[in-house]
Amino acid sequence: MYICVHLQMMLMAIGKSTLLVPLLVALLQPLAAQLGGLSTYGFLKLPVSARITGLGGNLITVVDDDVNLAAQNPALLNPTMHQQLGFNHGFLIDGIQHGYVAYGHHITGWETTLHGSLQYVQYGIFDYTDELGNENGSFKAAEYAFTLGAGRQVNERLSVGLNARLITSQLESYRSLGLTADLAGVYRDTSSRFTIAVVARNVGAQLRAYRPGNPEAIPYDFQVGISKRLRYTPFRFSVAYHHLHQWNLLYDNPNAVQDTPLFNDGPSKPPSKASELLDNFFRHIIVGGELLIGQQENLRIRLGYNHLLRQDMSLVSYRSLSGFSLGAGIKISRFRLDYGRSQYHLAGGINHLSVSTNFKEFRRR
């Protein structure tokens, strides 16, 4: 209760400053080029539900009863999530398991909706070997994130939210502890069915590094997103721009320029400045579309595209569906079942399953 009260007080302060807080936080973050290997706790960037996976890995602009969405944007918390419970499990490459459990609760007196969640990733069992390759047993590796968040409506169109997250990581004998927060705001125009969101994710630091005196960065991300529900079509599209605080997401790819001595063609030409500029811009973009079928939207079909994922994980010599994702969801009786598939590489991708329900559904029967 002590933490909940402080979350609500901070939300009231955020509401008074509208959407300026995430922007100020973004300006205080260090800038750097590229993404890989720059931070720890990489599992925090994984999509937590099958719905998010099917829409490209990002969904920060949709306000409905899906409590799982609060993991990416706590400002989406609203009274329709009251007593909503979600179970999610992702099957990653090589047997890595990723899961997320969330529960939402609305407090009428505070006019605030809370949520609590647990996110985890289990990397499996590894052989413990010495420098000569001799096996000396085995070890496990796993990471966990415990989140408590709150969201409230400031006025008819604006809502704000805050997540506080405690992270624990154990990789063999190395242990780490971290603390992060998400600050978010959502502006929604119901008449035009348009929503815009601003989120500063994973603002924080390690409390305990894996090695004393060697702290590592947190995967901070400043995002802006929009979504639009078409007036005469049961379709909603979403567009997110991530890493707003960091322009250059390119990296030096040794395969981008290839020698072809077999045919005496000489080296292929490097990409032009214009194509690099365009490529870098679209690396920030994630696009998703959701077809909502039925009066109660009980059947949903999803498609998504993540250009950064495609560029980072595609092979030059082979065509693939890296970066593309799809999914579907259906509500049966008291339960909503969702499936999402994201193709990471020719070697495989993520299969995601989600089951959600609401305790109120059982009392009605």
pLDDT, tens digit, 9 for 90 and up, residues 172-224: 889 999 999 999 999 999 888 999 999 999 999 999 999 999 999 999 999 99
The predicted-structure confidence for 228-281, as pLDDT tens digits, reads as follows: 999 889 999 999 999 999 999 987 665 555 444 444 444 556 678 888 999 999
Position 263 scores a pLDDT of 42
Tokens of 139: 């070890």
> Which residue would you say has higher pLDDT here, 244 or 38?
244
Tell me the pLDDT band of 6, cut-offs 50, 70 and 90: very low
The answer for 75, left when phi > 0, alpha when psi is -120 to 50, beta otherwise, is alpha
pLDDT of residue 189: 95
Residue 38 is predicted with a pLDDT of 76
Residue 254 is predicted with a pLDDT of: 59
Residues 126-167 have pLDDT tens digits of 888 888 888 888 999 999 999 999 999 999 999 999 999 999
Could you tell me which of 227, 176, 222, 223 has the C-alpha nearest to residue 203? 222
pLDDT in tens, 285-320: 999 999 999 988 999 999 999 999 998 888 877 778
The residue-averaged pLDDT of 16-32 equals 44
CB of 238 closer than 8 Å to CB of 62: yes
- 12 pLDDT more than 60: no
Query: What single DSSP character describes residue 93?
Result: G
Average pLDDT over residues 107-129: 94
Query: Residue 37's pLDDT is what?
Result: 64
Q: How far apart are CA 200 and CA 56, in angstroms?
A: 19
Q: Is the distance from CB of 338 to CB of 353 less than 8 angstroms?
A: yes
pLDDT of res. 262: 43
Paired tokens of 169: 């990581």
Structural domains of the chain, with CATH: 2-249+284-364 (2.40.160.40)
Across the range 7-33, mean pLDDT stands at: 46
Query: Does position 28 have pLDDT exceeding 50, yes or no?
Result: no
For 305, what's the count of Cα atoms within 13 Å in the CB-facing half-sphere? 11
Model pLDDT, residue 59 = 97
- Residue 363's pLDDT band, with cuts at 50, 70 and 90, is confident
Q: Which uninterrupted H or E stretch holds 277?
A: helix 273-282
Q: Cα dist. 14→75, 79, 108, 117 in Å?
A: 11, 19, 19, 22
Q: How many CB atoms lie within 10 A of CB 150?
A: 27
pTM passes above 0.95 = no
30: pLDDT strictly greater than 50: no
Contact indicator for 325, 304 with CB cutoff of 8 Å: yes
- Tell me: pLDDT of 22 over 80: no
Residue 164 · residue 7 · CB < 8 Å: yes
Return the pLDDT at 14.
46
Least confident of 19-33, 127-141, 162-176, 332-346: 19-33
pLDDT score, position 316: 75
Per mean pLDDT, which range of 21-25, 238-242, 271-275, 323-327 is the poorest? Answer: 21-25
